[in-house]
Amino acid sequence: MEEFSVTPWKVTGQVDYDKLRRQFGTGRIDDDMRNRIKTICDGLHPMLSRGFFFSQRDLKLVLDDYENGKGFFLYTGRGPSGPMHIGHLVPLIFTKWLQDKFDVNLYIEITDDEKFLFKRELSWEDVGKHAADNILDIAAVGFNPDRTFIFKDSEYVKNVYPLMLKVAKRITFSTTRAVFGFENETNIGSIFYPAYQVVPTFFEQKRCLIPNAIDQDPFWRIQRDIAEKLGYKKTAAIHSKFIPPLQGTEGKMSASAPDSAVWLTDDEKTVKRKINKYAFSGGQTTVEEHRKRGGNPDIDVSYQWLSILFEPDNKKLRRIHDEYHSGKLLSGELKAILIERVNGFLKEHRKNRKKAEKLVDKFMYKGKLAKEMWERAYE
Ligand code: TYM
């Protein structure tokens, strides 16, 4: 099988998720954990029950802490390198579900520094515009405004700089080179940056749980090496697979390949055109062939997207699966279902985004948690 590679900045090849989990040294999500979550949350999010979130670190300890009253907090983030695609929304949608069910604080880091440093072509001004735009999309997901703090790295830095230095002092260049593949040519801002992504895991003395796609895990490995030496807990994490690009199941839906993704700003016509033109099909080449031999949902991107995000109803998804597999449902018909769902989703998102304009100030400065955070200094 072709080799694959996963780093926080690039994913290539057909990812073998079990192999990746072993390489990264993370645990699987077992039935015991799923059952515990199901009991506490009175049901499971489809992204959990269908195995899209497939890997974890210390999730058991998070559930222990929750059940014995110690509690925990959530932390996730977004790098504002440009507009957002639906892949970027996936961890946020799941995070909202966790916040609703467990009623916990949530910190969302907007890494304007990271994207400025890592993307040669991005000006500081551009990053600022993308950050403002992304924050609206994030606010539209519907987090609890009094328990959620959305912060931009460049703005909040004055409240965390001494703590960040303590983190940075514990991380050597050779570690970051091994973990992230930094080279002599890497600018020194990029080399320092991982210290900031670690800091929010220390915002509370409680255990931190990070929902993210597995590409971000290298940061948590570093965090877990140094947390206890600094008097904090090792962070826990829950990792998803990648929502695949339209063109097939290799790599991830990525901002660097515009036609691989559906953007939150795509209008109805664009969604229709992209899915019809690009969505990789597991169907047969002719209708007769398809009726006879059926399609393969496992490699069909439209089916994968329905399963990850756009068809939460298990019974309906099962019917689509079976009818496609048997040849009753044609590729064009499957795409039509997806187009309708994606457009419905984006319509709702646009409405929520409009409403969220009023909430941004609360998430960033005026809500209960945000206010507390601006009054706090981390050393
Ligand atoms: P960024 O902006 O690249 O990605 C934001 C989040 O989206 C996930 N992601 C995906 N999930 C599913 N399918 C995809 N195709 C896909 N592409 C991206 C990422 O894993 C991430 O969770 N350095 C980070 C920002 C950050 C962060 C964090 C992320 C700072 N602190 C804590 C997660 C948790 C970044 O540039 O993410």
At 235-290, the pLDDT tens digits run 999 999 999 999 987 777 777 777 889 999 999 999 999 999 999 999 999 999 99
HEC readout, the chain: CCCCEEECCEEECCCCHHHHHHHHCCEECCHHHHHHHHHHHCCCCHHHHCCCEEEEECHHHHHHHHHCCCCEEEEEEECCCCCCEHHHHHHHHHHHHHHHHHCCCEEEEECHHHHHHHCCCCCHHHHHHHHHHHHHHHHCCCCCCCCEEEEEHHHHHHHHHHHHHHHHHCCCHHHHHHHHCCCCCCCHHHHHCHHHHHHHHHCCCCEEEEEEEHHHHHHHHHHHHHCHHHCCCCCEEEEECCCCCCCCCCCCCCCCCHHHCCECCCCHHHHHHHHHHHCCCCCCCCHHHHHHHCCCCCCCHHHHHHHHHHCCCHHHHHHHHHHHHHCCCCHHHHHHHHHHHHHHHHHHHHHHHHHHCCCHHHHHHHCHHHHHHHHCCCC
Is the pTM higher than 0.95? The answer reads yes
Helix (H, G, I), strand (E, B) or coil at 210: strand
Residue 75 exposed, middle or buried by CB count within 10 Å (0-12, 13-18, 19+) = buried
Tens of pLDDT, residues 317-333: 999 999 999 999 999 99
- Could you tell me which of 109, 79, 47 has the C-alpha nearest to residue 254? 79
Angle at 158 between CA 154 and CA 162, to 5 degrees: 120
Ligand 1 test: best mutation among 6, 10, 56, 78, most atoms within 8 Å of CB?
A: 78
CA of 68 to the centre of ligand 1 (A): 31
pLDDT at 235: 98
Nearest CA, atom 27, ligand 1: 77
**For residue 155, how far is its CA from the centre of ligand 1 (angstroms)?**
20
Ligand 1: distance of its center to the CA of 240 in Å?
10
Q: Per mean pLDDT, which range of 156-160, 200-204, 220-224, 257-261 is the poorest?
A: 257-261
Top mutation candidate among 6, 11, 88, 210 for ligand 1, by most atoms within 8 Å of CB: 88
Report pLDDT for 53: 98
- Mean pLDDT of all residues in 170-194: 95
Task: Give the whole-angstrom CA distance, residue 121 versus residue 127.
Answer: 10
Tell me what the mean pLDDT of segment 221-230 comes to. Answer: 97
At 7-56, the pLDDT tens digits run: 898 888 889 999 999 999 999 999 999 999 999 999 999 999 999 999 99
Query: What is the rounded average pLDDT of the residues 291-300?
Result: 96
pLDDT at 251: 76
pLDDT at 32: 95
Question: How high is the pLDDT of residue 272?
Answer: 97
Give the model's pLDDT for residue 2.
Answer: 59
Helix (H) or strand (E) holding 207: strand 207-213
Ligand 1: centre distance to CA 2 (Å): 25
Which of 170, 168, 175 has its CA nearest to residue 218? 175
Q: Ligand 1 mean position to 297 CA, how many Å?
A: 26
Nearest residue (by CA) to ligand 1, atom 30, is 77
Which residue among 11, 127, 212 is best mutated to probe the pocket of ligand 1, counting the most ligand atoms within 8 A of its Cβ?
A: 212
Ligand 1 binding residues, C-beta < 6 A: 8, 75-79, 87-88, 90-91, 109, 111, 114, 197, 210, 212-213, 215-216, 240, 242-243, 252-253
Give the pLDDT score at 260: 85
- Residue 255: the pLDDT is 75
pLDDT 10s digits, 101-142? 999 999 999 999 999 999 999 999 999 999 999 999 999 999
- pLDDT at 95 (0 to 100): 98
Atom 22 (ligand 1) nearest CA: 212
pLDDT at 347: 98
**What's the CA-to-centroid distance between 214 and ligand 1, angstroms?**
9
pLDDT digits (tens, 9 = 90+) for 66-110: 999 999 999 999 999 999 999 999 999 999 999 999 999 999 999
